[in-house]
Amino acid sequence: MFLLTLFRVLLVSFGTLSVLGAQERPRDLRNEIHRQYQLAPNTTVEVSMIAGSVEIETTNGESAEVNIINSAETQADLNCEDTLVEQSSGKLSIRSRARCQIVRVSQRVMLKLPRNVNLELQNIAGHVSIGPTEGTVRLNSIAGHVNASSLQFAEMSSLAEGLSMEIKQIGKRGLRLSSIVGGVELALSDTLNAQFDASSIIGNVVSDIPNVKVTTVDHYNFAAQIGSGGPAINISSVRGGIRLRKLD
């Protein structure tokens, strides 16, 4: 049931974007956006309705760089899409807006952001990569693979091509991951203390870490104590299984 729900969510969320960034092919024309901002701690960065990939590099300090490439085969196609970058108190918003009924534009969003901002990404038609982040991270309706490292708190749902995540330490609120197709791989540090709970999993749940043993509650539900236990890593509704491995 959750697979059907995920499909419907992605279909409705992307609408006309479904013809945009899914196919990689040469593009003749492009326009680019390059901007810099100062972001205070706990600023929320929202990225939505992107017809392609989103790549986020994180750094120390308060400087942010926004780099966006829009490409299309014709100028008429390129004119059918606007990319809006707007800053307001406590927020930086990046989103695309269609000006035509059918849009054939591919996008690549590359951000360099402070580690201490909050991230909210939704309706992304390509892959997503996120560097180490101290703030909250929320992802919803991602059509490509998600790769994340060292997040303190995250909520992710409706991921269509799986998730790879490095976990060094997590905050008290833990991690909540749901409705994922393509499987989940978690790379865990030796010093991590957490409680792992997985429910409604279609596929194998395995641990390649000698001192982390996965207990089978029943055919679709699993649990494990990581280190001395602690904040929860809750994962539900996954098709493709889950693998726990040691962080290199």
Task: Quote the pLDDT of residue 52.
Answer: 96
Q: What is the pLDDT of residues 83-114, one digit of tens each?
A: 999 999 999 999 999 989 888 999 999 999 99
Q: Which residues of 173-188 are buried (b: 16+ CB within 10 A; e: fewer)?
A: ebbbbbbbbbbbbbbb
My answer on whether 125 and 4 are in the same domain is: yes
Q: Is residue 151 part of a domain?
A: no
The verdict on 175 and 97 lying in the same domain is no
User: Is there a single domain that holds both residue 116 and residue 3?
Assistant: yes
Quick check: 43 and 91 in contact, CB under 8 A? yes
Q: How confident is the model at residue 130 (pLDDT cuts 50, 70, 90)?
A: very high
Which of residues 104, 129, 154 is at a domain's end?
Answer: 129
Residue 17 has pLDDT above 90, yes or no: no
Q: What is the mean pLDDT of residues 122-126?
A: 97
Q: Could you tell me if 167 and 242 are in contact, meaning their C-beta atoms sit under 8 angstroms apart? A: no
Same domain, 166 and 223: yes
Question: Does 181 share its domain with 122?
Answer: no
Asked whether the predicted pLDDT for residue 36 surpasses 90, the reply is yes
Q: Note whether 247 and 189 are within 8 A (CB).
A: yes
- 206 in a domain, yes or no? yes
Residue 123 within a domain: yes
Query: CA angle, 108 as apex, 243 and 8 as ends, to 5°?
Result: 60
Through-space distance between the first and last CA atoms of the chain, rounded to whole angstroms: 36
Are 56 and 125 part of one and the same domain?
A: yes
Average pLDDT, stretch 6-25? 45
Listed residue (91, 21, 27) closest to 49, CA to CA: 21
Say which residue, 11 or 159, is predicted with more confidence: 159
Residue 219 — pLDDT band, cuts 50, 70, 90? confident
Is the pLDDT reported for residue 217 higher than 50? yes
- Say yes or no: 5 and 87 in one domain: yes
pLDDT at 12: 41
* Predicted pLDDT at 200: 96
Tell me if 33 is assigned to some domain. yes
pLDDT of residue 245 exceeding 70, the answer is yes
Q: Classify the C-alpha dihedral 17-21-25-27 as positive or negative.
A: positive
| Cβ neighbours of residue 101 closer than 8 Å, sequence gap 6 or more | 16
- Rg (C-alpha) for the chain, rounded Å, is 19
Residue 237 lies in a domain: yes
- For residue 136, tell me if it sits in a domain: no
* Least trusted range by pLDDT, from 11-15, 47-51, 83-87, 225-229: 11-15
177 and 117 in a common domain: no
The string of pLDDT tens digits covering residues 160-198 is 999 999 999 999 999 999 999 999 999 999 999 999 999
According to the model, what pLDDT value does residue 190 have?
Answer: 93
Please tell me the predicted confidence (pLDDT) of residue 218.
87
Q: How crowded is residue 4: how many other Cβ atoms within 10 Å of its Cβ? A: 8
Q: Are residues 47 and 102 in the same domain?
A: yes
Note whether 108 and 206 are same-domain residues.
Answer: no
Whether residues 50 and 168 fall in one domain: no
Please report whether residue 72 resides in a domain.
yes
Mean of all residue pLDDT scores within the chain: 90
Domain C-terminal end among 75, 108, 129? 129
Instruction: For residue 193, give its domain range.
Output: 162-248
Q: Is 213 within a domain?
A: yes
- pLDDT bin (cut points 50, 70, 90) of residue 26 is low
- Clarify whether residues 47 and 96 are in a common domain: yes
Looking at 15-168, list the stretches that DSSP marks H as alpha helix, in order from N- to C-terminal side. Answer: 75-78
Secondary structure of 148-217 in HEC code, one letter for each residue = EECEEEEEEEEECCCEEEEECCCCCCCEEEEEEECCEEEEECCCCCEEEEEEEEECCEEECCCCCCCEEE
d(CA 87, CA 48): 15
* Domain final residue, candidates 129, 148, 175: 129
230: left (phi over 0), alpha (psi -120 to 50) or beta: left
The total domain count for the chain is 2
* pTM of the predicted model as reported, rounded to 2 decimal places: 0.88
